[in-house]
Chains A and B, each alone.
Chain A
Amino acid sequence: MKRIFVIGYVALLLVPFAYAQQQSTPAPPPGEPQVPEQQPGASRSTPPGQAVVPVPVPIAPPKPNGPVQKSLVRITATSVEPDYRAPWNAGGLQRGVGAGFVINGNRIMTNAHVVANSRYITVERDGDPNKYPAKVQFIANDCDLALITVSAPDFFKNMVPLKFGGIPALESTVSAYGYPIGGERMSVTTGIVSRIDFQLYTHSSIDQHLTIQISAQINPGNSGGPVMQDAKVVGVAFQGYSGDVAQGVAYMIPTPVIDRFLKDISNGHYDEYPDLAITYAKLQNPAQRRFLGLKDDDRGVLVSSVIAAGPSDGILRPGDVLLVVDGHPIASDANVELNGEQAQFEEVVERKFRGDSVKFDILRDKQPMTVTIKLYKPWPYSLQGHSYDVRPRYVLYGGLLFQPLNLDMLEAYRFTDLRLRHFFEYFILEQIYLQHPDVIVLSNILPDPINSYLAPYRGEIVDEINGKKIRTLDELAEAFAQAPERIVIRMIGEGPPLVLDRDKVAAARERIKTRYNVLQEQNLEEKPASGLASTGR
């Protein structure tokens, strides 16, 4: 399920465990000054000078879970973070540490954020001084899971693959294993299952999935480590609140999400989560229920919006009441019962794959109907989430840098412009993507005599060039390539057009490239940034 960006969400502070610094979570209101967080990678080594209280390193894990050291690995990933402010550059190097564990088929499971954007990965195991190079096999940024593998033939020989369990009961005890700050060797902490709920996965910062909250102490470096009960993996530790917001609140990815990921990749390709692409409202008001012709049975939710780019378009309408999903009655607070657990009704859709269908019993204009929706992932959401393992798209022309609006770019520039923020937040809800599949922003200007007076245009959105509407970055590049002598760029909103003289731009080209060390003037394709990662895109 995608989170729809609506202004007014309370910003909580969640930290994926591999992050060393805070990052504000639910839909970081664009433009809000963000702590320049160290990018996903994993825990940094303890800063020199920090007082480290010597605490005895746990020597053996609790017995019930068996010798977990035989399954656990320490992952060190060196990654390259794309530089959205100078997108022609490779980006900054980061190194981080996370955990992983061996599962069947000689594979190592970890979090996507441990290995996202990675260029080189090594793994280490208990009692072996070697560092083994590893490669990403599959990465699922929307549910923060990844599989990596080690090519060294003997690596898996003495390793014990872990098995998965189900959803642990509330209040039952679980143990988390990993390599958090505080020492070099494996650490184990225990806690109880506190809550089972939908939560935002901060790695993509748009996807919400089932999550289990545990009270075990979990810190940067625990990321990707197994959380176990009765010798079985019941979750993968992945995010939590930073200590100054809430303590003893940590989250793990539960096995339904893990199972789904493993099933999704069984065809050799990660297809990502499909989504209904609707918004809905709970139906708890008695008058509203009567108005809609509903019985007094506490069932049904109201469809508020149907996104045209999604699979429900043309099937569901605003004003429809969803009553039953695949045979599970939907309560008026949007919950269904799944295997004896209460869950939001989207969980039924969550467990499906691209191309699967979901059936709804609905009430439309007081008439019962049944509809079937064939699922896929609607593309516009990707703008509002973080992207990994891709090179930013951009066009540089006359020293003017044009970039499509997305979360990474917005955070890089910290734009506070009202219009940009509106386009970002209402990209889907107001169907802005229909007119502007790419919202092309004049994001930066590399000063040169030909653009001396153009600074006021910075942060504006391109509407048309020489009378032609510009919908995508490709069209922008094309318009520049085919430009007549005088290029007239109209921006959205009031303001004069931005006028460029083609020949002057051509004359300034080499000068700008040299002065600012621009290696490449455009990148139109969001192609993978390295050969290591298979992103499933």
Chain B
Amino acid sequence: MFRQSFIAFSIVLLATSGALAKKEPAVPSAAAKQKQLALVRVNVTGQSYDYFRPWQKKAPFSKRALGAVLPKGRVLVTADLVANQNYVELERAESGEKTAANVRVIDYEANLALLEPTEKSFLDGIKPLEITSDTVVGDRLAAWQLEPTGALLATEGLVTTVQMTPYPIDIGQFLTYRISIPMQYRENSYTVPLVKNNKLAGLLLRYDSRSQLLDAIPAPIITHFLKEADTQDYRGFPSAGFSFFPTRDPQLREFAGEKSKGGVYVTNVEPGTPAMKAGLQVGDIVTGIGNHELDENGNYVDPLYGKIEFTNLLTAHAYAGDAVPFHIQRGGKPMQLNLTLEHRDAKDYVSPPYNLDQAPRYSVVGGLIFQELSRQYLKEWGPNWQREAPQRLVYFDHFQSELFPERNRRIVILSQVLPANSTIGYDDLAYLTVTKVNGKEVKSLDDLAEAVKHPIEGFIKIETEEDPKQIELDASQVAAEAPALQENYGISSLQRLQ
């Protein structure tokens, strides 16, 4: 027993001395500690919308995190932290002084947000963090957290990879630093700045405590976000609107008439996107973007990181509105296309990939609940939504560009049925896609709300893609029953179309 505790003690000693011995510039110097840290606590109270009961919000949540203080009195946090917020509060680390804050700009796709204190003088005395974009593989970064006392807690980690990975919203891929780091849990671990030489190098994106691997939103993405945030209208990160496939296979290269090296095969060009407008076609081989050549897997050689996927050229380096020259081969002939990049808004999808800080649209007709399909709705099934949500709806969401090439529509679903007199016998219906109401095609909830107003001989007839194919309601009964339905199920309003 005695022996055991002795061993444990010696290990602790070793660990401590090791950290002391390895003191690197990543950890701020004693002098820096004396100054006001460029960190504030961020307290967020929020409520997510309840997609299963779309007229209400879920129970409030609260999150405590850190924000990095930037020039011009702004505080950088992740979008995750402040999505669906009701109230954001900043708290000085050392004094505990608090003030309310506004979300000035938020980009859900890049997972970044800028906060501004309502009290302008709140950040006085704090020297803002500068941003350093020169982090490369092998660098050491320090994760800054705060002890309950307000003292700094710094942990050091090694940047092991720089690569493109999907961010939580899962639209395209963004540059990411992967850092091997033994993070310690603190109640404010939600947003954690990563610092190199007292400059901001990244922001925690996700952390896997088992493998002790941290993914960080890197400085180039933060810089891009900040630059865009300075413009009048924040537009978001640009995209080109095509999908691609490697051309490693010599048989495919030969088929495509591609004789030189490199390039990716264009597999799909989405209607209405910059790629389509510029005339990119399925079967084209994209061999270069700007001055960069692409290899067979779609990587270019980045001066900082070496080989990395070309989409980094479009997200980190280019802005919406930029014209980017694409070098392609079509039928063996080289061509150049200029793509004027645009940001694709969530609302420009048939099944929007996210919908945050906005109330979901719905319509309740006599106990039948109609909603528009969105990934936000599917995510209500939890982290394994792709397996657990109704598979037919997941299929529609996943293959939306193939199944619904016309972009200006929504998929209206009968999501569930509230038992009432008018819905007797319909109680088990759920997750049906609505094709027509009262004979009129339904391509949005607005179509549905309009069509419901025109019953056929006193009946509201709803047609669905799936069985039972047709559902009828008595229009006058629906109207008469509406107050009781609202009362019974606590539905504040029977529809929300805004």
Contact = CB atoms under 8 A, between A and B. Distances in A.
Contact of A499 (B249, B268, B282): B249
Residue from A454, A494, A498, A500 having most chain B Cβ neighbours under 10 A: A494
Contacts of A456: 245
21 contacts: A279-B467, A281-B469, A285-B426, A285-B471, A285-B472, A287-B473, A288-B470, A290-B474, A302-B470, A304-B467, A319-B470, A418-B391, A418-B395, A419-B395, A425-B391, A426-B392, A429-B467, A453-B249, A493-B399, A494-B243, A501-B254
A129 interface: no
B255 A488 contact: yes
Interface stretch (B95-103, B406-414, B417-425): B417-425
A305 B252 contact: no
A422 interface: yes
Contacts of A302: 468, 470
A318 interface: yes
Nearest to A501: B251
A62 to B, nearest CB: 43
A496 B267 contact: yes
A235 interface: no
A497 interface: yes
B402 interface: yes
Contacts of A285: 423-426, 471-472
Contacts of B254: 486, 499, 501
Given A418-B395, A421-B391, 7 more contacts: A6-B467, A8-B390, A281-B467, A284-B424, A456-B245, A496-B283, A501-B254
Nearest to B478: A287
Contact of A422 (B395, B423, B469): B395
Contacts of A421: 391, 395
B394 interface: yes
A29 B394 CA distance: 14
A7 interface: yes
Contacts of A501: 251, 254
A499 B252 contact: yes
Contacts of B398: 418
Interface string A339-360: 0000000000000000000000
B459 interface: yes
A8 B431 contact: yes
B477 interface: yes
A505 to B, nearest CB: 10
A456 B246 CA distance: 10
Interface in B263-280: 265, 267-268
A288 to B, nearest CB: 4
Interface in A265-308: 279, 281-288, 290-292, 302, 304-305
B472 to A, nearest CB: 4
B392 A496 contact: no
B69 to A, nearest CB: 45
A495 interface: yes
Nearest to A398: B251
Interface in A36-65: none
Given A302-B470, A495-B245, A288 B251 contact: no
B459 A291 contact: yes
Contacts of A6: 466-467
A504 B249 CA distance: 14
A453 B248 contact: yes
B251 A283 contact: no
A498 B249 CA distance: 9
Contacts of B249: 452-454, 499
Contacts of B251: 486, 499-501, 504
Given A283-B425, A284-B424, A305-B467, A496 B265 contact: yes
B41 interface: no
Interface string B230-254: 0000000000000101101111101
Interface of B: 243, 245-246, 248-252, 254-256, 265, 267-268, 282-283, 387, 390-392, 394-395, 398-399, 402, 422-426, 430-431, 459, 461, 466-474, 477
Interface in A7-40: 7-8, 29
A454 B248 CA distance: 9
Contacts of B469: 281, 304-305, 318-319
A494 B252 contact: no
A367 to B, nearest CB: 17
B261 to A, nearest CB: 15
Contacts, number: 110
Nearest to B296: A453
Contacts of B387: 416
Contacts of A292: 472
B391 A304 contact: no
Contacts of B474: 286-287, 290
Given A8-B390, A284-B424, A497-B252, A418 B472 contact: no
Contacts of A486: 251, 254-255
Nearest to B393: A7
Residue from A281, A282, A452, A501 having most chain B Cβ neighbours under 10 A: A281
Interface in A131-177: none
Contacts of B422: 287
Nearest to B244: A496
Contacts of B248: 453
Contacts of A488: 255
A287 B431 contact: no
Contact of B267 (A29, A319, A494): A494
Nearest to B421: A286
Contacts of B477: 287
Which 6 A-B pairs have CB atoms at the shortest separation, nearest pair first?
A: A284-B425, A281-B468, A453-B249, A287-B474, A285-B425, A304-B467
A287 to B, nearest CB: 4
Interface string A477-499: 00000000010100001111111
Residue from B245, B246, B399, B466 having most chain A Cβ neighbours under 10 A: B466
Contact of B459 (A287, A305, A500): A287
Nearest to B401: A494
Interface string A300-323: 001011000000000000110000
B288 to A, nearest CB: 19
A128 B76 CA distance: 86
A288 B472 contact: yes
Given A285-B423, A304-B468, A496 B245 contact: yes
Contacts of A29: 391
A450 B147 CA distance: 59
A291 B472 contact: yes
A500 B461 CA distance: 52
Contacts of B268: 494
Contacts of A497: 252, 255
A495 B459 CA distance: 46
Contacts of A429: 466-467
B255 A287 contact: no
Contact of A418 (B399, B461, B466): B399
Residue from A7, A284, A292, A319 having most chain B Cβ neighbours under 10 A: A7
Contacts of B425: 282-285, 288
Contact of A7 (B265, B391, B402, B423): B391
A287 B430 CA distance: 19
A488 B349 CA distance: 32
B434 to A, nearest CB: 15
A297 to B, nearest CB: 15
B248 to A, nearest CB: 5
A319 B471 CA distance: 11
B294 to A, nearest CB: 15
A292 B392 CA distance: 29
A382 B390 CA distance: 25
Interface in A439-497: 452-454, 456, 486, 488, 493-497
Contacts of A426: 392
